[in-house]
Each structure stands twice: as C-alpha cells, then as structure tokens.
A and B are shown apart, each in its own frame.
Chain A
C-alpha cells in the first residue's frame, strides 16, 4: 500500500530514547523508539531499571515476612498483591480463612481496584495533555478511599494488611458507616466525571480508534484485565474462577468491542461502577466472627507447590509458590500483570504518532514495580 508518507517525501528514520527519565513513562520504563518524523516505526522496550530481586528476596524470609515485599510489586494496588500472595500460601498450607476475613478482603480489594483505576484513568488523561485537571479530581476522590484503607490498617500506600489466614486486624466500628458514605459520594462523582469526559471531542479524537489491540493478539499475548476486556474478551477471574466469596455478589463484567484507548478508558470507568456495586452488597452482607484464623506463629506448609491467581485491578495476578516444608518459600514466582500486558505494546503503537504512543502506553496502565520486580 502506498502511503502518503512515501508519496510526499523521502525521509529517514531516527532513534529517540523515551525514558527511563521521562514524564510519561510511569516510572522508569524506557522505549527505544524509531521515528520517521512524528510517526513511530518501531519501538524496543528496555526495562529492568527498577529491578530489586523481590522474588529472590522472598526465598530468605518467612511466609509472613514476604507480605511487605508483595506491597512493593504493584505499589498502587498493594492490597490485591497481598491478597494474591496470601491466597497462594493458604492454598499451599490448606488454611481455611474465616468468613468475615473474606468479606474484609473483598472490600479492601474492591476499594483498591477503584483507587487503581483512578490512577490509570487520570494518568492516561494526563498523557493526553489534559494538564492535570481530571487527574486532580480523581485523586481528590482517591484520597477518600485511602482514608478508608488507612482506617483498616494504618497505612496509606504500602498497606501490608492481609495476613495468612485472614487480615492483620478487624475493621474498626466506624469503618462501615464511612464506607456507606463513600459509596454514595463515589456514585455521584463517577457520574459527574464521566459526564464531562465521555463527550469530550478532543478526548474522542485522541483516543477513539487509537492503539487498537485486536482480540486475537490480546489472547495470544496473554493479556488480561481491563485491557483484554476492552478488546472484547469477556474474562474476569472473579466470575470465571471465583475465589474468596465473589460468587455471592451480583456484578457485570464490562466489555467493549474496539480495543482502542477510548474503550480501555470506558471499561475502567464501568469497572469502578461495578466495584461500587460489590462494595454495597459486601457492606450489607458482612457477618461477625474472627478476622483471622488461629494459626501458629510460623507457617510450615507441607512440601509441594501451589498457584493462586486473582483478578487484580490491572489483570490476572498470579503467585506460584514452591515449599520445602521450611518457614520460607523455596521459590516464589509472580505472574506480573503489567509486564505481560506490555508485550503487545509494539504492535499497538506502530504507525501511530509520538503523541499516540504516549497515550496508548498510558492506557495500558502499568506499574514499573511489577514489571521489573
């Protein structure tokens, strides 16, 4: 196919290093982009700038001692990381979690999902050049969620809340009323926010049809989470492989057809609405009882291996743990959502402009802590 580019002038591609220090690479991601003027011909991802050897570090700590390390994987949604890890250990050691603890976990995970999507949507719009306005509005509301999470565990970012067999402490009395208030506020806020952005001409022009990820490619690359659902893959582990007590809640899996940046934005907004539905039901159903199973101080799971996966905000997060019946994991491997979602980036950005490269990258929603580990 003869393109406009070939007809008009003969140009020469050049190499541009985007990152690791760049305002829009969400941490220290680096792309060696080959550009022809404004057009992206090819990109070559370079990562590892944030490698801390978390998987290796885990081998030298007790099972409980590993939990703070999982916080540092995807540091904007540490609750779900904790949860995935604890579920893997529980599966390995055959521990039964009390029902109340499961509800608290669901509440914490769904709050975390909303908080994560705040960052995802806000950062994507920031990359689109909205100069911080939607970002700040989302962060104002995200603060309220973090207030609630702080109420649970005393931490705002690195929660370290989940424990093997439950959660570190039961929720305080004032938590549930505060949650009810938050749900009401958030319902109103999402409608308002979506009203302003759904019809924004410039956002539609920038995001609609941009960075299309086909369904086949998404499946072949193993992409999960909102990115996959935006490409029309109706897959959500909360429904397909219900863990905890997710089978007790009514909620939908939002999907979209085109797989462009706008769809990824829409899916995330819709997921926040569904999370609020789950929170509302969990708030009403929560039973009494202990928040942590009675366990010895050090967990000695029998020798063997276990894999637990959950639907983290960014997609399928898995923990694979091998035990040799000692107090520390023999080997722990993380299935990092961000890294696997990144694999299709090259196909998505080829042929688009530099500005699109940034917004497509932003729409995937990655955290470098999880990519490099």
Chain B
C-alpha cells in the first residue's frame, strides 16, 4: 500500500473527469448539476414514500395508499399541497433571517452530492480532498437551522436549534475520526478513490468504524433516536415550528436530502459505493443507498428518543473514545502490516469491535439525571 502525498495533490482539486467531452469542463458542470438536483429531488420523493410505507408496515398500518398506484403519488400530492399553502411569518420574527434560513440549510446538502461518485468517475468534481470537503460543507447546514430557530422568535424553535448545534458540535468529532480510519485504509481522500480502493467493503474491514459512523451520522442528521431538535412530543416541531408553506417544505426537503446524503456517504465509505457484480454501477449505488436509508427508517420506527444529556454523554463518553481506539488500531494495522491481505484484518477487526463495544457499554454511564433546583 502506497501512502499518498495529500499535500502535493491539493492544487489539482478540480479535476474534469471525462477529458473528451465537448465543451470540456462547463458541459460537465452543467450536466452534473442538473443530474444532482434531479437526483436529490426525485430521491427525496422516493425515500419519503419508502419511509412512510415502511413505517406504516412496521407500525401495523397501511401507510399512504390512496394517491396513485400503491400511493406512489403521495409525495407529489404533499408537494402540491405545501406549495399552495399560505406562507406565515410571525410578527416578531427577524424577517431576513427567517427568510434566509431554509436556503442556507438546503444548499450545503446539495453541495455534498458534488463529490459523491454515482459510478466510476461519474461525479461533478473528483476533489482529491472529497471527504474533507463533505465534513466542511455538511456543518454549514447547522447555521441555517440555528438561523431558523433564532429568527422565528419562538422559544420552542430556539430550544430545538440549540439542541441541534450542541449535537452537531459533539458528533462531528467521532464522525471525522471514523472517517480517518477509512482514509488510512483507502490511502486517499477522494471519494472516487475510496471506492476504487475498496476491494473488500470497509464495513468488514472497519466494522467498529461503520457502527460508530452510522450512530454519529444518525445524530448528525437528527434521525431518531437522536431527533431531539425536532422532538415533536416535546418541542412541537423544534426549529421549524414557525415555518409554513414552501419554507417548511424546504426544511422537510433538507431533512430527507441530508438522510440521502448520509446514506450515500455511508455507501461510498463503507459499502464499496458503486462496485458490485452484474448490475450497472449506478444501480448498485442506488440500491445500497436505499438499503442504508431503510436501516435508518428501521431504527427510527423502533427506538424511543434519547434525552439531550444522554445524547451528549453518548458522543463524548462512548463514541469518542471508541473512535480514537478504532483509529489507533487501523493506523497500527496499516503501518505494521502494509502488504498482507486485508481479509486478515476483517476477522481480527470484527472480534476487536465486538469486544470494544461490550467493554464500552459496560463502562459507559448515561447522563446525570436530576439537578437540584
């Protein structure tokens, strides 16, 4: 395994992948921009349908089944409804911030897809710092959420937004640390190169990393059991309590687009992205993304919500130490045995992961409970 020289590659950040395209870079840019926007919007509709039907099944009810065949048009009907709704801005709201928030929350999610490979080389920009770019960009959405919470001048919104900021700040760290574990094995920060390097899916090589990343990602995008910022039973709707009409739809879109983005990132980092036998690569990518999303739906349907102090405790006392250990083990493995088959690591790492999770859960104590007032 060659240890790459990241520093030298940075100035070549923007690679135009198919060199023989007519018009070169700009055609490529236009084509992929349209694809990404269409992909995100269509996927959002698709996953909303999957989530609602899947949740319906798991909750022993039918889910939407009236609009179109099998209720397939339900997301379209919802979109139309939400478009036609009145846009209400609270009288005391900070109008500009209130108006800007959905846009600021939505754009970074779209930007994440710029570096996600749909198949070999099929991505808007094959940045050689792809995953670093994702970590940087995905955090910006928090600003939008906090603007929404602040601009609404509603205490529920503010509480939800504060919870969100606290969660993101904490969960970025284990998230980034587990990504480093993957990068050590792949030897590249480029999303495409990470997929190319995955002869064995990294879910097997880095089982603990996958677990930690999945938990941290669920918290990062506020999926249940970490959906504290929306927490409908506590904060009515959290940061978007005061939003209606299309602006609410934007937040709804953000929620699902983030879930898709995280599923796509997990697919790329741990499930060998577009690689797979028989089927076309883009279809493999799509299938794996949807499977990861479905697991998120599954956890959402079956688990109660944690409390804010438990959320923090989980990040700092459980995920963070385990992510450090995981990183350490990955580094040792690559440094000491750079040339042996990764299949040897698979068995060893699964055993280590099981032991560490058991040990971690024994040592881990949740929360502080009651405070004297």
Name A residues whose Cβ lies closer than 8 Å to a Cβ of B.
1, 3-5, 14, 16, 22-24, 36-42, 125-133, 136-137, 140, 200, 202-203, 205-206, 209-210, 350-356, 358
Contact = CB atoms under 8 A, between A and B. Distances in A.
9 contacts: A41-B373, A128-B305, A129-B225, A129-B227, A132-B59, A136-B59, A202-B304, A206-B310, A355-B228
A137 B59 contact: yes
Given A38-B308, A131-B224, A355-B305, A23 B59 contact: no
B308 A129 contact: no
Contacts of B302: 133
Contacts of A22: 236
B159 A354 contact: yes
B234 A3 contact: no
Nearest to A2: B372
A353 B307 contact: yes
Interface string B297-312: 0001111111111100
Contacts of A210: 369
B282 to A, nearest CB: 32
Contacts of B303: 130, 200, 202
A131 B301 contact: yes
Contacts of B236: 22-23
Contacts of A126: 233
Contacts of B60: 136-137, 140
A133 B369 contact: no
Contacts of B228: 355
Q: Is the interface of B mostly helix, strand, loop or mixed?
A: loop
Contacts of B163: 38
Enumerate the 8 nearest inter-chain pairs by beta-carbon distance, A residue then B residue, closest first.
A129-B305, A136-B59, A128-B304, A130-B304, A351-B370, A24-B233, A351-B373, A355-B307
Contacts, number: 102
B108 to A, nearest CB: 26
B371 A4 contact: yes
Given A4-B368, A127-B233, A358-B234, A353 B308 contact: yes
B85 interface: no
A23 B233 CA distance: 6
B367 A24 contact: no
Given A202-B306, A206-B307, 8 more contacts: A14-B155, A39-B373, A131-B55, A133-B58, A206-B310, A352-B369, A353-B308, A355-B228
A200 B234 contact: no
Contacts of A36: 373
Contacts of B59: 132-133, 136-137
Contacts of A351: 370-373
Residue among B228, B300, B301, B305 with the most chain A CB within 10 A?
Answer: B305
A41 B310 CA distance: 19
A59 B55 CA distance: 49
Contacts of A356: 307
B61 A136 contact: yes
A129 B366 contact: no
B373 A133 contact: no
A209 B301 CA distance: 25
Interface in B125-158: 155-156
Interface in B31-83: 55, 58-61
Interface in B355-373: 366-373
A200 B304 contact: yes
Interface in B317-347: none
Interface residues of B, number: 39
Contacts of B235: 354
Given A127-B233, A354-B159, A358-B234, A203 B371 contact: no
Interface in B199-246: 224-225, 227-228, 231-236
B309 A353 contact: yes
Given A140-B60, A353-B308, A355-B305, A129 B369 contact: no
B225 A202 contact: yes
Contacts of A130: 303-305
A128 B302 CA distance: 12
B371 A355 contact: no
A129 B373 contact: no
Nearest to B306: A202
A350 to B, nearest CB: 6
A358 B306 contact: no
A3 B306 contact: no
Most A Cβ at <10 Å: residue of B59, B224, B233: B233
A105 to B, nearest CB: 32
A38 B163 CA distance: 9
Contacts of A206: 304-307, 310
A127 B306 CA distance: 11
A227 to B, nearest CB: 19
Contacts of A205: 306-307, 310, 366-367
B351 to A, nearest CB: 23
B159 A38 contact: yes
Contacts of B232: 23
B155 A129 contact: no
A127 B235 CA distance: 11
A321 to B, nearest CB: 39
A14 B59 CA distance: 38
B302 to A, nearest CB: 6
Contacts of A352: 369-371
A21 to B, nearest CB: 9
Contacts of B61: 136
B233 A129 contact: yes
B55 to A, nearest CB: 8
Contact of B304 (A136, A203, A354): A203
A16 B307 contact: no
B71 to A, nearest CB: 18
A93 B225 CA distance: 56
B304 A3 contact: no
A4 B366 CA distance: 16
Contacts of B369: 209-210, 352
A5 B372 CA distance: 9
Nearest to B224: A131
